[in-house]
Amino acid sequence: MKRVWNFSAGPAVLPVEVLQKAADEMLNYENSGMSVMEMSHRSKVFEKIIKDAEKDLRKLMNIPENYKVLFLQGGGHLQFSMVPINLMKNKVADYIITGEWAVKAYKEAKKYLKANILASSEDKNFTYIPKLDNLAIDPDSDYVYICQNNTIYGTRFTELPNTLGKDLVSDMSSNILSEPVDVSKFALIFAGAQKNIGPAGTTIVIIREDLLRDDLPDFCPTMLGYKIHADKESMYNTPPTYGIYICGLVFKHLLENGGVEAMYEKNLAKAKILYDYLDNSKLFKGTVVKKDRSLMNVTFVTDSEDINNRFVKEATEAGFVNLKGHRSVGGMRASIYNAMPIEGVKALVEFMAEFERKILA
Amino acid sequence: MKRVWNFSAGPAVLPVEVLQKAADEMLNYENSGMSVMEMSHRSKVFEKIIKDAEKDLRKLMNIPENYKVLFLQGGGHLQFSMVPINLMKNKVADYIITGEWAVKAYKEAKKYLKANILASSEDKNFTYIPKLDNLAIDPDSDYVYICQNNTIYGTRFTELPNTLGKDLVSDMSSNILSEPVDVSKFALIFAGAQKNIGPAGTTIVIIREDLLRDDLPDFCPTMLGYKIHADKESMYNTPPTYGIYICGLVFKHLLENGGVEAMYEKNLAKAKILYDYLDNSKLFKGTVVKKDRSLMNVTFVTDSEDINNRFVKEATEAGFVNLKGHRSVGGMRASIYNAMPIEGVKALVEFMAEFERKILA
């Protein structure tokens, strides 16, 4: 069986050990006589799966006791609505605009409150992270919102904005579990699972308990209140059981392999290999300001659209797939999430170097 | 490997052939070099998976051209909100109350419009389906709402209400694909996948095109509009890719095994075996008015809570699992969805008969 090197931005590569375990257990999970897909979410065996997943995520991220962990549906897009609906009091919030997902979150928030643009890097096609000190935080702001790693543009926040004590909300869909974060600095963290965790269709929310409210606006659909999901421990309705199971397997796999610290070291090493090559290449170049480069999504181009296309085509044929960049940036993007082995990055760089020699010959 | 007979009300038993295929393809789907879980939802290979799933469902249910098929997230609970938000014009709707899920849908609708109770069987703990002719349909009604098979109580609609031309909305979560339905009689059909189709976390919506609207209420979260999902062919955001893949495998499995007509014959036969036994038993008895009995969820009791408990315990030990009834009904419930083989029902009846002999000896 030949597996490819999969640089997809998401849904994305998963640890092969996790997939193998899922395959082995597909017809009979731990002697239950059934697949995890076939289990009542109210059964003891599934209850252990979801409780273990939560416990392991708490351990991996060192989540404080006063935060709830929720397994929801709807992806980042539903969070773009749930965040303002659940967090608004003064009906003002501050958004830092660093890419398409932050823009979408901002536009959705404007349905519900006065959303300020606190800072933006749109002037240079989101190739950098704006300055984060001296931000004009609105005194009435209910929260400050960031998208911490920008999948499309290949940037990341290496420090957090000074919110002057206001609550910080972060979309961590593409960097969760890739680097250590101090959860206590955030009011709410959310992440679609499909980049660094598991299958699409499961959304992780980590929310400080004091933000859970009963007094939601009248129009709020019951499913869009965080508190009911927290009160029911993600079992208000049938959760995406199989997705949660796979997330749990990934969490265990990370714990067995040194946790987030070890992942971070590996991710730094992987990114360094790729960026070092780009910085020395005469054909390829990175698209992002060096200090703001993402560890997860490495965006790069050549000077020629034709050569870009030829590179993507030949790479695909050689088993390096999903390297085409997002249409907003063009060129190429290599997403190198936790589950991408260092060997995959080394092999990609070797292929790029060979391609470069050929083109520049 | 020993599989149990799984009578779970949902998530529920899936065809063993589907699970085996999913296991076989887990690390490398059709020579793509990756799992379906790892695929970009924008990739050609996944595009074929979702298009095939839609095409096969259209074939199975004979869905007319002027209906859209959507693969969404959030389960029935999110539909309880999406239906009124998307369908309201006069802000009046009529609900037929035949169980807990219809009650929840009705209560959610009351947030958005004047919801009338058109008929209810709550007076007898939902053990029957109310009379469906001469309903006092509101002249302003935007739609009439039913839950067509009541998972908890074990009833089903064997005919449709006379809506006097008003649009009919049906929650078919627990009967979709189990019996032929004329889709053209409905304005909107929805179903959580986790009973008769696939894994929890995928929701099927079949909606008549003229109901797709741009002029939704200002408060409507973008993710809760049907039209955007229809316009983007269920790809507005990352859909639950792996769940859709499993649904697709189930659809193909059904087509290969005679389609919905063949399932219906099999389901009639399975239900007859169980109900015939119940009607002749001196220990067990069905809880539902005969003419309204569900083909999918068979609810039954003995006269003694102790004997009920003993039965569930001994059945579990013998490999017949998830037979405990819902707390609202008590006793037992055997859910015998499409994927439950007739052998499973025969084996259960044999076990029940033996238990009865032992108790009455």
- Residues A36, A42, A44, A48, CA torsion sign: positive
| Furthest C-alpha separation in chain B | 68
The token pair at A361 is 């010959």
Closest CA to B66 of B210, B198, B163: B210
Say what the pLDDT of residue A79 is: 98
Distance of CA A116 to the CA centre of its chain: 24
Under 8 Å CB pairs connecting chains A and B tally to 226
Q: For A106, what's the count of Cα atoms within 13 Å in the CB-facing half-sphere?
A: 20
CA-based radius of gyration for chain A = 21
> Is B44 an 8 Å CB contact of chain A?
no
pLDDT tens digit string along B333-356?
999 999 999 999 999 999 999 999
Cβ atoms of residues B253 and B324 within 8 Å: no
Q: Return d(Cα A265, Cα B171) in angstroms, integer.
A: 50
Q: How confident is the model at residue B2 (pLDDT cuts 50, 70, 90)?
A: confident
**Paired tokens of A224:** 């869009």
Token pair in block for residue A246: 């796979």
Greatest distance between any 2 Cα atoms in chain A: 68
Residues in B touching A219 (Cβ below 8 Å): 111-112, 217, 219
B191 touches chain A (CB under 8 A): no
Tell me, what amino acid is at A97? I
Q: Are the CB atoms for B204 and B71 separated by under 8 Å?
A: yes
What is the rounded distance in angstroms from the CA atom of residue A234 to the CA atom of residue A232? 6
Query: Under an 8 A CB cutoff, do A240 and B238 touch?
Result: no
Buried b / exposed e over A132-158, threshold 16 CB at 10 Å, is beebebbeebbbbbbbbbbbbbbbbbe
Which residue of A12, A41, A81 is in closest CB contact with B200?
A41
The answer to whether residue A125 neighbours chain B at the CB level (below 8 Å) is no
CB contact under 8 A, A39 and B11: yes
Give the whole-angstrom CA distance, residue B28 versus residue A223: 35
Q: Which two tokens stand for residue B224?
A: 């809760």
Selected for mutation to probe chain A from B18, B27, B38, B340 (highest A CB count within 10 Å) is: B38
Q: What is the pLDDT along chain A (361 residues), one digit of tens a residue?
A: 589 999 999 999 999 999 999 999 999 999 999 999 999 999 999 999 999 999 999 999 999 999 999 999 999 999 999 999 999 999 999 999 999 999 999 999 999 999 999 999 999 999 999 999 899 999 999 999 999 999 999 999 999 999 999 999 999 999 999 999 999 999 999 999 999 999 999 999 999 999 999 999 999 999 999 999 999 999 999 999 999 999 999 999 999 999 999 999 999 999 999 999 999 999 999 999 999 999 999 999 999 999 999 999 999 999 999 999 998 899 999 999 999 999 999 999 999 999 999 999 9
Question: For residue B147, which of B184, B109, B114, B113 has the smallest C-alpha distance?
Answer: B109
Tell me what pLDDT residue A279 has. Answer: 98
SS3 A67: strand
B276 catalytic, yes or no?
A: no
Q: Is A42 exposed, middle or buried (0-12, 13-18, 19+ CB in 10 A)?
A: middle
Q: Is B236 on the interface with A (CB under 8 A)?
A: yes
Which amino acid is it at B18?
V
Kindly state the average pLDDT of the residues B222-248: 98
Residue in A8, A111, A224 closest to B38 by CB: A8
Nearest residue on chain B to A46, alpha-carbon basis: B11
* Residue B5 annotated as catalytic: no
- Give the tens place of pLDDT for each residue, B116-144: 999 999 999 999 999 998 999 999 999 99
- Quote the DSSP letter at residue A275: H
A75 and B238 within 8 Å at the Cβ level: the answer is yes
Q: Which residues of B touch A74 (CB under 8 A)?
A: 73-74, 78, 223, 237
**With left for phi above 0 and alpha for psi between -120 and 50, is residue A276 left, alpha or beta?**
alpha
Nearest to A35 among B2, B14, B237 (CB): B14
Q: What is the DSSP letter of B293?
A: B
Q: Name the residue among B297, B64, B339, B50 with its Cα closest to residue B197.
A: B339
B260 in Cβ contact with B60 (< 8 Å): yes
B107 noted as active-site residue? no
User: Alpha-carbon distance A172 to B192, whole Å?
Assistant: 28
Q: For residue A129, what is the DSSP state? A: P
Q: Distance from CA of residue B148 to its chain's centroid? A: 9
Burial class, B23, CB count within 10 angstroms (exposed 0-12 / middle 13-18 / buried 19+): middle
What are the residues facing B6 on neighbouring strands? Answer: B321
**Residue whose C-alpha is closest to residue B166's, from B211, B198, B123, B124:** B211
The three-state secondary structure class of A95 is: strand
A34 shares contact with chain B (CB less than 8 Å):
yes
Buried b / exposed e across A308-327, counting CB within 10 Å, b at 16+?
beebbeebeeeebbbbbbbe
Could you tell me the pLDDT band of residue B1, with boundaries at 50, 70 and 90?
low
Helix (H) or strand (E) holding A352: helix A342-360
pLDDT-derived band at B74 (thresholds 50, 70, 90) equals very high
pLDDT tops 80 at residue B60: yes
Q: Nearest by CB to A319, from B19, B33, B198: name it.
A: B33
Q: Which domains does chain A have, with CATH numbers?
A: 16-256 (3.40.640.10), 258-360 (3.90.1150.10)
Q: Does B344 touch chain A (CB under 8 A)?
A: no
Quote the pLDDT of residue A1. 52
* Mean pLDDT for chain B overall: 97
- The full DSSP string for B12-63 is ----HHHHHHHHHTSS-GGGSSS-GGGS-TTSHHHHHHHHHHHHHHHHHHT-
